[in-house]
Amino acid sequence: MLVVTIFSGLIVFGMAFALFYKAWPILSTHPIGELLLSSSWRPTRGEFGLYPFIMGTLWVTILAMVLATPLCLLTSVYLAEYAPSRVRGIIKPMIDLLAGIPSVVYGMWGVLLVVPLIRDYVAPLVGATTTGYSVLAGGIVLAIMVFPIIISVSEEVIRAVPHEIREASFALGATKWQTVKHVVLRSSFPGIIAATILGFSRAFGETMAVLMVVGNVSKAPSSLFAPAYPLPALIANNYGEMLSVPLYDSALLLSALILLLVVLFFNVMARIVLSKIKKGFAIG
Amino acid sequence: MNDVFKPRVIIQKLNVFYEGRHVLKDVTVNIPENQITAIIGPSGCGKTTLLKSLNRLVDLADGVRFSGKVLVDGANIFDNGTDITEIRKRMGLISQTPNPLPMSIYDNVAYGPRIHGTKNKEELNQIVKQCLQAAGLWNEVKNRLGEPASKLSIGQQQRLCLARALAVKPEVLLCDEPTSALDPVSAEHIETQLATLKKDYTIVFVTHILRQAKRIADYVIFLYLGEVIEQGKAETFFTKPKDPRTQAYIEGKSITRTEV
Amino acid sequence: MDKRKLEENFFKGLMMASTFIVVGSLFAVFAVVVWKGAPALNLSMITQTPKGGYYLGKEGGILNAIVGSLYLAGEATALAFVLSLPIALYLHEYAGNKMASFIRLSLDVSAGVPSIVYGAVCFTIMLSLRMRASLLWGIITVALFILPIMTRAMDEVVSMVPFKLKEASYALGATKLETMLKVVSKQALPGILTAVLLAFGRGIGDAASVLFTAGFTDSIPVSLFDPAATLPLAVFFQLGTPTPEVQQRAYASGVILLILVLSFSVASRLLTRKFSKFVVR
DSSP letter at A133 equals -
What is the average per-residue pLDDT within A238-249? 78
Lowest mean pLDDT: which of A247-251, B42-46, B105-109, C136-140? B42-46
How does residue B85 score in pLDDT terms, banded at 50, 70 and 90? confident
Q: B137: Cβ–Cβ under 8 A, 6 or more apart, which residues?
A: B156, B159, B160, B162, B163
| C45 neighbors C61 (Cβ within 8 angstroms) | yes
- d(C-alpha C115, C-alpha A22), whole Å: 18
Q: B16: Cβ–Cβ under 8 A, 6 or more apart, which residues?
A: B22, B23, B24, B46, B49, B53, B58, B64, B65, B66
- d(C-alpha B212, C-alpha B187), whole Å: 10
Residue with the bigger pLDDT between A32 and B64: it is B64
- d(C-alpha B61, C-alpha B59), whole Å: 6
CA angle (B176 as vertex; B175, B182 as ends), nearest 5: 95
pLDDT at A283: 39
Work out the minimum CA distance from B179 to partner chain A, whole angstroms: 17
What is the phi-psi region of residue B14: left when phi exceeds 0, alpha when psi lies from -120 to 50, beta otherwise? beta
Give the helix ranges, DSSP H, for chain A.
Answer: 2-29, 32-37, 51-77, 85-100, 103-109, 115-117, 123-126, 135-159, 163-171, 176-179, 185-205, 208-213, 231-238, 248-283
C-alpha pair distances (Å), C220 with each of A119, C58, C157, C203, C249: 40, 19, 37, 19, 19
Asked whether residue B1 is assigned to any structural domain, the reply reads: no
Q: Give the side-chain half-sphere CA count within 13 A for B134.
A: 22
How does residue B106 score in pLDDT terms, banded at 50, 70 and 90? very high
How does residue C80 score in pLDDT terms, banded at 50, 70 and 90? very high
How does residue C169 score in pLDDT terms, banded at 50, 70 and 90? confident
Mean pLDDT score of chain B, rounded to an integer? 87
- d(C-alpha C35, C-alpha C32), whole Å: 5
How does residue A106 score in pLDDT terms, banded at 50, 70 and 90? very high
Instruction: Answer whether residue A62 shows pLDDT above 90.
Output: yes
Most C CBs within 10 A among A1, A24, A76, A278, hence the mutation to make, goes to A1
Instruction: Answer whether residue C156 shows pLDDT above 90.
Output: no
Burial class (CB in 10 A: 0-12, 13-18, 19+), B20: exposed
| A237 neighbors A211 (Cβ within 8 angstroms) | yes
What is the average per-residue pLDDT within C201-211? 88
Instruction: Answer whether residue C159 shows pLDDT above 50.
Output: yes
C-alpha pair distances (Å), C66 with each of A80, A165, C58, C206: 40, 54, 19, 14
| B60 neighbors A179 (Cβ within 8 angstroms) | no
Contact flag A172-B88 (C-beta cutoff 8 Å): yes
Residue of A nearest to B98 (CA): A164
Asked whether residue B37 is assigned to any structural domain, the reply reads: yes
Work out the minimum CA distance from B137 to partner chain A, whole angstroms: 19
CA angle (B140 as vertex; B137, B144 as ends), nearest 5: 110
Q: What is the pLDDT of residues C63-78, one digit of tens each?
A: 888 888 999 999 999 9
CATH code where residue B175 lies: 3.40.50.300
**Cross-strand bridge partners of residue B206:** B39, B176
Instruction: Answer whether residue C275 shows pLDDT above 80.
Output: no
The length of chain C in residues reads: 281
Contact flag A172-B55 (C-beta cutoff 8 Å): no
Instruction: Answer whether residue C175 shows pLDDT above 80.
Output: no
Amino acid at residue number C279:
V
Q: B163: Cβ–Cβ under 8 A, 6 or more apart, which residues?
A: B108, B109, B128, B131, B132, B134, B135, B137
Neighbouring chains of C at 3+ CB pairs within 8 Å?
Answer: A, B
Is the CATH code 1.10.3720.10 the one for domain A2-283? yes
pLDDT at B260: 46
Q: What is the pLDDT of residues C253-272, one digit of tens each?
A: 889 899 888 888 888 777 77
| A204 neighbors A263 (Cβ within 8 angstroms) | yes
Work out the percent of chain C whose per-residue pLDDT is above 70: 94
Contact flag B164-A172 (C-beta cutoff 8 Å): yes
How does residue B124 score in pLDDT terms, banded at 50, 70 and 90? very high
Work out the percent of chain A whose per-residue pLDDT is above 90: 28
Instruction: Answer whether residue A262 shows pLDDT above 60.
Output: yes
Q: What is the ipTM of this complex?
A: 0.86
pTM of the model: 0.83
Q: C171: Cβ–Cβ under 8 A, 6 or more apart, which residues?
A: none
- d(C-alpha C52, C-alpha B55), whole Å: 79
Contact B168/A at CB under 8 A: yes
Q: B192: Cβ–Cβ under 8 A, 6 or more apart, which residues?
A: B136
pLDDT at A282: 45
Asked whether residue B216 is assigned to any structural domain, the reply reads: yes
Q: What 3-state class would DSSP assign to A132? A: coil
Q: What is the pLDDT of residues A140-155, one digit of tens each?
A: 999 999 999 999 999 9
Instruction: Answer whether residue B65 shows pLDDT above 50.
Output: yes
Work out the minimum CA distance from A31 to partner chain C, whole angstroms: 23
Q: B234: Cβ–Cβ under 8 A, 6 or more apart, which residues?
A: B38, B213, B214, B217, B218, B219, B220
Burial class (CB in 10 A: 0-12, 13-18, 19+), B129: middle
Work out the minimum CA distance from B24 to partner chain C, whole angstroms: 32
pLDDT at A137: 92
| A41 neighbors A47 (Cβ within 8 angstroms) | yes
Q: What 3-state class would DSSP assign to C217? A: coil
Instruction: Answer whether residue B49 shows pLDDT above 60.
Output: yes
What is the average per-residue pLDDT within C248-254? 87
Instruction: Answer whether residue C185 shows pLDDT above 80.
Output: no
What is the phi-psi region of residue B73: left when phi exceeds 0, alpha when psi lies from -120 to 50, beta otherwise? left
- d(C-alpha B9, C-alpha C93), whole Å: 57
What total number of domains does chain B contain?
Answer: 1
Angle between helices C185-205 and A85-100 (to 10 degrees): 50
Amino acid at residue number B175:
C
Residue with the bigger pLDDT between C190 and A178: it is A178
Nearest to C113 among A12, A175, A176 (CB): A12
Contact flag A172-B86 (C-beta cutoff 8 Å): no
How does residue C1 score in pLDDT terms, banded at 50, 70 and 90? low
Instruction: Answer whether residue B208 shows pLDDT above 90.
Output: no
- d(C-alpha C208, C-alpha C110), whole Å: 16
- d(C-alpha C77, C-alpha C150), whole Å: 9
pLDDT at B83: 85
Q: Which domain holds residue B180?
A: 7-258
Q: What is the pLDDT of residues B155-198, one digit of tens each?
A: 899 999 999 999 999 999 999 998 888 888 888 888 888 888 88
pLDDT at B2: 46
Contacts of A137 in chain C (CB under 8 A): none
pLDDT at C21: 93
Contacts of B85 in chain C (CB under 8 A): 1, 4
Residue with the bigger pLDDT between A12 and C176: it is A12
Q: What 3-state class would DSSP assign to B7? A: strand
- d(C-alpha C196, C-alpha A203), whole Å: 24
The torsion angle over the Cα atoms of residues B120, B126, B132 and B136, rounded to 10 degrees, is -170
pLDDT at C75: 92
Work out the minimum CA distance from A46 to partner chain C, whole angstroms: 21
C-alpha pair distances (Å), B253 with each of B213, B247, B249, C119, C134: 17, 9, 6, 75, 82
CB contacts < 8 A, B to C, total 5
Concatenated DSSP letters of A42-82:
EGGGTEE--HHHHHHHHHHHHHHHHHHHHHHHHHHHIIIII
How does residue C56 score in pLDDT terms, banded at 50, 70 and 90? low
Contacts of B115 in chain A (CB under 8 A): 172-175, 178, 182
| A150 neighbors A98 (Cβ within 8 angstroms) | no
